[in-house]
Amino acid sequence: MAFDFDFDLLRELTETPGVPGYEDRVRDRVRAVLEDAVDEVRTDAMGNVVGTVEGSGDHEVAVAAHMDEIGFMVKHVTDDGFLKVDALGGWDARVLRAQRVRVHTGQGDLTGVIGSVPPHTLSEEERETDDAVEDVVIDLGMDGDAVVDLVDVGDLVTMEQTTVEMGETVTGKALDDRVCLFAMLEAARELDDPHATVHFCATVQEEVGLRGAEALGVDVDPDLAIALDVTIASDTAGVAEDKQVTRLGEGTAVKLKDGSVITNPKVTRRLRDVAEAEGIDHQMEVLPSGGTDTAAFQTANGAKPVGAISIPTRYLHTVTETAHGDDVRATIDLLAAFLASEDGSHDYSL
Q: Return the active site residues.
A: 206
Instruction: Find the largest Cα–Cα distance for the chain.
Output: 70
Backbone phi and psi for residue 186, each to the nearest 5 degrees, phi listed first = -65, -40
DSSP for 243-275 reads: G-BS-TTS-EEEEEE-SS-B--HHHHHHHHHHH
Q: Centre a 10 Å sphere on the Cβ of residue 12 and count the other Cβ atoms it contains.
A: 16
**With the C-alpha atoms ordered 270, 271, 272, 274, is the resulting torsion angle positive or negative?**
positive
- 315 alpha-carbon distance from chain centroid: 13
199 forms beta bridges with 52, 62
Please state, in angstroms and rounded to a whole number, the distance separating the CA atoms of residues 96 and 287.
Answer: 25
The closest alpha carbon to 256, from 241, 244, 242, 266, belongs to 266
Angle at the Cα of 16 (from 13 to 22), degrees rounded to 5? 110
For 240, the 3-state DSSP assignment is coil
Contact criterion met (CB below 8 Å) for 104 and 23 = no
| Beta strands, E only, the chain | 40-43, 49-53, 60-66, 71-77, 83-88, 100-105, 108-114, 137-139, 156-159, 164-166, 169-172, 197-203, 224-232, 252-257, 282-286, 306-313, 321-324
Q: How many CA atoms lie within 13 A of 345 on its CB side?
A: 5
